[in-house]
């Protein structure tokens, strides 16, 4: 079964760029049929979808974060990545990667990684 695992620095300074990678195992990103997503959860708050990428490289992002978000895919490593620029304390959150089936807009996210906490602080 497909499993996802997030990795990256747990501490980022304000105004810098947050960079995370999601490694996919048990299946190939390049086999198609799915969107590869990033979702975050602020401490004590609900979940917020950030965006996703298709293995072809096409992306779709949350409108409110779009100007600061870059999502990329490396099919040779079976990984996809998130970069969030100009971070502030408001970007402190647990960041999850997840998979979603393509073809329907109101799709679920399954499976998810276990998440990684990123704290923005000097």
Q: List residues binding another protein (CB under 8 A).
A: 4, 45-49, 62-64, 96, 98, 105-115
Cβ partners under 8 Å of residue 30, min gap 6: 55, 75, 78
What is the distance between the alpha carbons of residues 36 and 93, in angstroms, rounded to a whole number?
19
- Shortest gap between Cβ of 33 and another protein (angstroms)? 16
- Shortest gap between Cβ of 58 and another protein (angstroms)? 15
Q: Cβ closer to another protein: 63 or 76? A: 63
Q: What angle do CA 58, 83, 31 make, to 5 degrees?
A: 35
Q: Cβ closer to another protein: 17 or 64? A: 64
- Shortest gap between Cβ of 6 and another protein (angstroms)? 10
Q: Cβ closer to another protein: 35 or 55? A: 35
By three-state DSSP, how is residue 97 classified?
Answer: strand
- Shortest gap between Cβ of 44 and another protein (angstroms)? 10
Largest CA-CA distance found in the chain, in angstroms, rounded: 42
Structure tokens given for 98: 């997840």
Q: Cβ closer to another protein: 54 or 109? A: 109
């Amino acid at each position: 079964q497909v499993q996802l695992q997030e990795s990256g620095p747990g501490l980022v300074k304000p105004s810098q760029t947050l960079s995370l990678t999601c490694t996919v195992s048990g299946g190939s990103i390049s086999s198609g049929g799915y969107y590869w997503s990033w979702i975050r959860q602020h401490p004590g708050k609900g979940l917020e979808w950030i965006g996703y990428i298709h293995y072809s490289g096409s992306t779709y992002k949350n409108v409110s974060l779009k100007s600061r978000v870059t999502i990329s895919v490396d099919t040779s490593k079976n990984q996809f990545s998130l970069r969030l620029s100009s971070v502030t304390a408001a970007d402190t959150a647990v960041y999850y990667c997840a998979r979603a089936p393509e073809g329907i807009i109101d799709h679920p996210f399954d499976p998810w990684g276990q998440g990684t906490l990123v704290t923005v602080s000097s």
